[in-house]
Chains A and B, each alone.
Chain A
Amino acid sequence: MLKLIALLFFISFSSFAQTPSGNPPKDANHAQMQGNDEAAPKAAISGEKALNEFKFIAANVELEPIRFLPVHHNGRLKPLDTLAREVMMFVNGSYSRFSVPAVQAYLALTRYEGAGFVEIVEVRDVQLRQELGFLKEKRFFSLAELQSTQLGAMSEPIQKKQEQNAKSLTAHDKAVLEVLQQASLLSEVISGQHIMQSADYTFLDNNHGAQNSPNGMNSDVQAQIPKFFQSLSQPGEVQKQQAQALISIVRSQKTPELFQHSLEKMETEVFFNNAQFFLWASILSLVFGFCFFMPLFKNKISFRTTTFLYAIPLAILVTGLAFRIYITRFAPVTNMYSTMIWVSFGVLVFSLLLFVLYKNYVLPGLSLIASGLMLMLTYQIPLILSPDLDPIVAVLRNNFWLSTHVTTITISYAAFTIAMVLGNTALVRLWLYRDNEAFFKEYSHYAYRMIQLGCFLLTMGIILGGIWADYSWGRFWGWDPKETWALIADLGFLAIMHSRLIGWTTSFSLLAWSPVAYLLVVMAWYGVNFVLAAGLHSYGFSSGGATAMAIFVVLQILLLVAGFARLRMLRASSSKI
């Protein structure tokens, strides 16, 4: 059914594209990735020339008010601003590669007749670039370039394989499919079909679907979009007029009740997109964190200054989280991205607590840097850690449990993160100073406190999870991989805490083992969803970053081994003296 609608859209679009408008009609074949020679227009434009012309058109697009246009995509209403950002991120790997906002780039693609020659599709797999006959250094390709390759033929057996068993796809298969999807999304955008489908959501409302036209589509929206496209090459005032007209037509559609709250949030979401709260929180945390180690500042920082330095990134983070909650209407702990932000927040809060209790001025520095780095990581890899605000799977649709069980579990990771940072600091410090005993004694106490807090929160979180599972799946505990790994992480830290009672862990080894036990947290947090990909907690299965994570694990273990060796060496040499 959807396909049929898409087809109808396409036909209607083609018909208006051929109306005399002063511009030659676009090559309709762009919409299909056939890889045949017919698709290439007669007069090819060089990539560079196309890029310049494209940029010129993009710079001419009026951002307001069109970026507030409500569009329907992935189960919610979002402003065109968000949709354009998501499209550019997927196709191009960046929100603003051409130093223009995503909306301008998106709309310029629909307008520019040479759009098929703009080198915009990011082929991320180096091997695939070579297989397609490109230089491996070249990263971005135009649609026309991709159409001249064997991509279409390459993907056919893979698509068959995917239909039979999606699990059997190799990394290379996935890379081929991804480029194919990128290319077809781009051609949809260029043809205008993409915005058409997204802006006309009349068909979603079952009861009123057929009101405007027999095929369930809204003829007003269909008529206005071409008018708006044509205005894009006209002065800004005309553009604004047409955009405003389009917005009011789109907003007057029948909207499913579930979406209605979103209509009021278009401006808010655009503001949230562009304010980049989490990036600012990250930068400020890093800068403030380093202040604690700068010879110039570090002696001048008072108790009050420290709380102030905490307050700023915390306030920004909280604001950002508040925006997320306001827009989505659920707790911000539904995917890897949002939990990492939540944990960064926890690191700041718990380390502030430690600071207030113990007045140690190294702790805030370490924790601010740790929190800043974690936020920076989420900002840097949006393709793996998706920041989208799209709706959650059925089982998570319970705000009470989401905001008790999940938040408790994940905030416990924050306490463990601080213990891990302290542990790694100790392991590194061994190589810088000879006398570490006083440091170990003091910091192992902080780490112990954090482990205690973490175990408390994790245990409570597990129990809350058990109650939720009992309530909605019918069993308190079912050895599901996610719950099992949470238990393993808990057991790991509990073992450290208990072995301190009988002297199996000393102040140094408590610090040294904390980062190792943290690897269990990493497994529970990241590994179950990204590596094991099994079990009932199927809301977060994803992939990517496995290699980086493996390197991290190996480095962490090497650091531990090296630390113990170094300590032995130091103790041996000191006992000789």
Chain B
Amino acid sequence: MSEIIKKLNQNKFFKFASSVRLAVPLMLILGVCVAYGTIIESNYNAEYAAMAIYKSTWFGLLIILLWINIFAATISRIPFKQHHTGFVITHIGLLTLLIGGFITNSNGVDGQLVIPEKQTSSSVTLPHLMLGYQFDGSPSPQVIKFKKTLSAQNESDLKGLNESLGHLFTVKSYIPFAKIEKEFVESTQPEDQGVALSFILKSNFFNVNEWLHSESNPSMKMGPATIKIVKVDDLSQPMLLRSAVHKVEKRTVNSTSTTKSSQAAFLILTDLKDPKKVKKINISELQKQKVSVDGIQISLSKLYQHAVVSENKVTENPNPTVANPAIEFFIEKNGKKLREVLYAKFAGFSLNKDGAFGYRFAFEAKDIEAVPTSPHGGSGAPSTMEVAPTSDAASADMLTGAQAAMKGDNTIIFSVDPKEKSKARVTLIKNSQVVQTEILNEGQSLQTPWMGMKIFLGSVRSKATESIVATPINPEKSQQLPPSAMLIATTGSPSQEFWLAEGEQKQIQIAGKSAVVYFGRQSIELPFELKLEKFSKIDYPGTATPMSYESLVQIGKTGIIQKISMNEPLKLDGFTVYQASYSITPEQTLSIFSVNQDPGRPLKYAGSLILGLGIIIITLMRSRVWKNYLKRNVKNA
């Protein structure tokens, strides 16, 4: 052994690797890097600092280099002499400690468990990302881990990921921080029939850029004006109000369909505290305006007919238009806004599984055929000249006098003929009179007679499907970090490309089979369930200064109640559950635990112990007492 070392010590490279000449710069570089990390953390947050420095690959390499340096320095002293004792022990301690850290980093679990009061959970969210997919009918999802990086990645960077996906679909690019915007694209799916277009309204006072979709978002209000999209058969036939009679007749048809659908589709709110308290909101109500329930503002964002299509069931069902409806909407209370997506058939896919603002939400659509969106040229039905959306406000006769006065009855109607690409007809209506009508191409504009307002036609889609567009942005200081996003392409033909933002999922076709793709945080299930019986924040009497935080949890169904508080974690099955944080709102009390499994722990403790011992030995052996003792020994000898 000592022979090998002797030889190694003559090797120039080993000599440098084991030298203090390497150690001192390494220590300084390490110091500078982590100092920079703390400044990043102060400006942004701990997660950003971890990605930028502490958990980055190059930082890992730096630590490995330091480890090699310490290791080489230690073995270069072989054969050890008495005066090496302190040195060797100290550095072995350091090496052990660092290995412990590495094991924790690679094999440890450090996640978050959020439990609302009186509820049960065992699912721990990890800081790492994953890409997952699950075929309809398959019992469990396939999960591929994905390391969140600070730099964008293109297809060639993502080769490894795509290989582990088995090329079922392809990840084209990854953006670490994305601004998510909605847009409509041409669809390849036969069931997408609606038309869509984007427009810009510009005046001295405003400049808005919006999308309209004849199925999900057919009209919008902007100040005193209503803007609508209408699917037509022939653009050359101008929309004239003399067709009002015709329209009234049709409206009756529409309103019956509304009535029918109002019996069919509901948003159901269940009180979390009292499951017997249930509130039903008719979806058609929601399509007309925001609905307020118990101080919660609910505003519809989109209705999907085919959000989740179960291929098998479609074939079994004689009616090919049967879909699996979903609803996307925003809930807002006390300035807090949440997005919620509900699937009528897959209740578990809710974004707010455990409810929000004191309610759990569900979507009920019994008579799926009558899901209230615009009738999309039903099979065999004679195509109508003007197909107006359900809540038809186009014709003045619908409005009562008071409403007309209030709204000013300014309407902009975009008519789109799916057969004519990149074109739309704009009709301006004021006080039930057509003021102006003109056919525009994409990019063209129209000067209105209203307050210098100009209308620009953006893009026109003849068979539209919604898609989100993610554009890279830089995170802002002391703000929450924007989500990351992935661009995914299906491999089948026709191929489909779409963005998936962190925490989102989408229904796609893989080799003719229907599947759900999900991009977001990894999570694991604990081997036990915890039910939060009670969380309490105890303040110093008479102040708002917290004295302690405590959660009472029941483990599984054992009936055993345990207290978890700051400085008093719960240890079970190799996992440790700590009181980390909490959230108390008038609606809900949440206790946030950090869940941890640390296989590196024994090494870290052993390393610390050895390191401490080593430093003590160094100190003692450099002391006068020891030196005097040695001198006496030499004399005696």
Contacts and interface: CB of A to CB of B under 8 A. Distances in A.
A and B interact: yes
Interface of A: 72, 74-76, 167, 201, 203-204, 256, 258-259, 357, 391, 393-395, 397-398, 452-453, 455-456, 459-460, 463, 466-467, 470-477, 479-481, 484-485, 487-488, 491-492, 494-495, 498-499, 501-502, 504, 520, 528, 532-535
A534 B27 contact: no
B542 A72 contact: yes
Contacts of B445: none
A391 B547 contact: yes
A465 B278 CA distance: 51
B594 interface: yes
B478 A498 contact: no
Given A76-B540, A532-B39, A533-B42, A487 B24 contact: no
A475 B615 contact: no
B37 to A, nearest CB: 6
Contacts of A203: 542
Given A393-B546, A535-B46, A479 B54 contact: yes
Interface in B423-465: none
User: Which 10 A/B pairs are nearest by Cβ-Cβ distance?
Assistant: A75-B540, A474-B596, A534-B42, A481-B38, A204-B541, A532-B42, A75-B543, A474-B578, A491-B31, A472-B567
Given A456-B615, A495-B28, A75 B542 contact: yes
25 contacts: A74-B545, A76-B540, A258-B540, A258-B547, A393-B545, A394-B566, A395-B566, A397-B548, A459-B611, A466-B608, A467-B605, A467-B608, A474-B576, A474-B595, A475-B110, A476-B100, A476-B101, A476-B104, A476-B600, A481-B38, A491-B31, A494-B27, A498-B24, A504-B24, A532-B41
B19 interface: yes
B38 A485 contact: yes
A473 B578 contact: yes
A428 B188 CA distance: 80
A485 B611 CA distance: 20
B161 interface: no
A495 B24 contact: yes
B49 A479 contact: yes
Nearest to B38: A481
A459 B622 CA distance: 18
Interface in B584-603: 594-596, 598, 600-601
B479 to A, nearest CB: 10
B398 interface: no
B428 to A, nearest CB: 40
Interface in B53-90: 53-54
Contacts of B543: 74-75
A504 B22 CA distance: 12
Given A357-B624, A481-B41, A498-B24, A488 B35 contact: yes
A474 B569 contact: yes
Contacts of A357: 624
A475 B54 CA distance: 15
A456 B576 CA distance: 31
B385 interface: no
A404 to B, nearest CB: 13
Nearest to A468: B567
A513 to B, nearest CB: 11
B27 A397 contact: no
A504 B24 CA distance: 10
Contacts of A470: 598, 601, 604
Given A397-B567, A498-B20, A488 B608 contact: no
A428 B41 CA distance: 37
B21 interface: yes
B578 A491 contact: no
Given A397-B547, A459-B615, A476-B600, 15 more contacts: A74-B543, A75-B545, A201-B541, A393-B546, A394-B547, A398-B567, A456-B616, A460-B615, A474-B569, A475-B110, A479-B46, A484-B38, A488-B34, A499-B20, A528-B38
B30 interface: yes
Contact of B596 (A201, A452, A475): A475
B404 interface: no
Contacts of A201: 541-542
A470 B603 CA distance: 13
Interface size class for chain B? 35 or more
Could you say which of B31, B50, B100, B594 has the most chain A C-beta atoms within 10 Å of its C-beta? B31
Nearest to B575: A474
Contacts of B619: 452-453, 456
Contacts of A528: 38
Contacts of B541: 72, 75, 201, 204, 256, 258-259
B37 A476 contact: no
A205 to B, nearest CB: 8
A474 B598 CA distance: 9
A204 B543 CA distance: 10
Interface of B: 19-21, 23-24, 27-28, 30-31, 34-35, 37-39, 41-42, 46, 49-50, 53-54, 100-101, 104, 110, 478, 539-543, 545-549, 566-567, 569, 576, 578, 580, 594-596, 598, 600-601, 604-605, 608, 611-612, 615-616, 619, 622, 624
Contacts of A74: 540, 543, 545
A477 B604 CA distance: 10
B267 to A, nearest CB: 31
Contacts of A474: 110, 569, 576, 578, 580, 594-596, 598
Contacts of B27: 491, 494-495, 498
Contacts of B54: 479
Contact of A502 (B21, B31, B547): B21
A463 B611 contact: yes
Contacts of A492: 28, 31
Given A394-B547, A397-B548, A502-B20, A534 B41 contact: yes
A514 B310 CA distance: 71
A258 B547 CA distance: 11
Nearest to B579: A472
B203 to A, nearest CB: 30
Given A459-B615, A498-B27, A528-B38, A477 B567 contact: no
Given A472-B578, A476-B601, A498-B27, A534 B21 contact: no
A498 B27 CA distance: 10
A396 to B, nearest CB: 10
A393 B580 CA distance: 14
Contacts of B624: 357
Nearest to B53: A479
Contact of A466 (B24, B576, B596, B604): B604
Contacts of B21: 502
A412 to B, nearest CB: 12
Could you say which of A391, A479, A485 has the most chain B C-beta atoms within 10 Å of its C-beta? A479
B30 A491 contact: yes
B545 A391 contact: yes
Contacts of B566: 394-395, 397, 472
B578 A391 contact: no
A487 B98 CA distance: 14
B75 to A, nearest CB: 17
Could you say which of A256, A476, A494 has the most chain B C-beta atoms within 10 Å of its C-beta? A476
A167 B35 contact: no
Could you say which of B539, B569, B600 has the most chain A C-beta atoms within 10 Å of its C-beta? B569
Contact of B24 (A393, A459, A499, A520): A499
Contacts of B49: 479
A480 B576 CA distance: 20
A533 B41 CA distance: 10
A474 B42 CA distance: 22
B564 to A, nearest CB: 11
Nearest to B39: A532
A473 B542 contact: no
A258 B580 CA distance: 24
A82 B467 CA distance: 65
Nearest to B548: A394
A485 B34 CA distance: 8
A481 B54 CA distance: 12
